[in-house]
Amino acid sequence: MSKSLFVNLPIANLKKSVAFFTELGFTFNPQFTDEQSTCMIISDNIFVMLLEHAKFEGFIDKKIAPRDTAEAILALSCDSQEEVRTLTEKAFAMGARRLNDPEDMGFMFSWGFEDLDGHLWDVFWMNPDHVM
């Protein structure tokens, strides 16, 4: 049986988040979409649930972490260095905050951004010849 991963992220505004991630090339599953949340498709088995704060809070008994804290960095692989550049530059153009300068380590290229809700994304390409 294949496993799937659903990452749940709190967001302030569903329409703004959908517009942001649509511009970055992601699609959404309407079957798991309502007025406060949507399911962003990363791959066949990886999904990001974008949940407005009120809906996200319904699943937890803790406070949502404030924007000036970080609990995780979401690392997203791409098929090429150019795809990393294109996706990251689009994110910046749409209001994402730059986390770092592009980093080329020869076998891997990465660049990071903070999305509209403060979530950290490390977008990277790894040379398949270096992966065992």
Q: Which domains does the chain have, with CATH numbers?
A: 1-62 (3.10.180.10), 70-132 (3.10.180.10)
pLDDT the model gives residue 98: 97
Among the listed residues 50, 36, 43, the one whose alpha carbon sits nearest the alpha carbon of residue 7: 50
Record the tokens describing residue 15, joined without a space.
């329409």
H/E stretch holding 8: strand 5-11
Question: What's the mean per-residue pLDDT of the chain?
Answer: 95
> For 52-103, what is each residue's pLDDT tens digit?
999 999 999 999 999 899 889 999 999 999 999 999 999 999 999 999 999 9
125 pLDDT above the threshold of 80: yes
Rounded percentage of the chain residues whose pLDDT exceeds 90: 89
CB 69 within 8 A of CB 83: no
Average pLDDT, integer, range 3-31: 97
Please give the share of the chain, as a percent, with pLDDT higher than 70. 98
Q: What is the mean pLDDT of residues 15-28?
A: 98
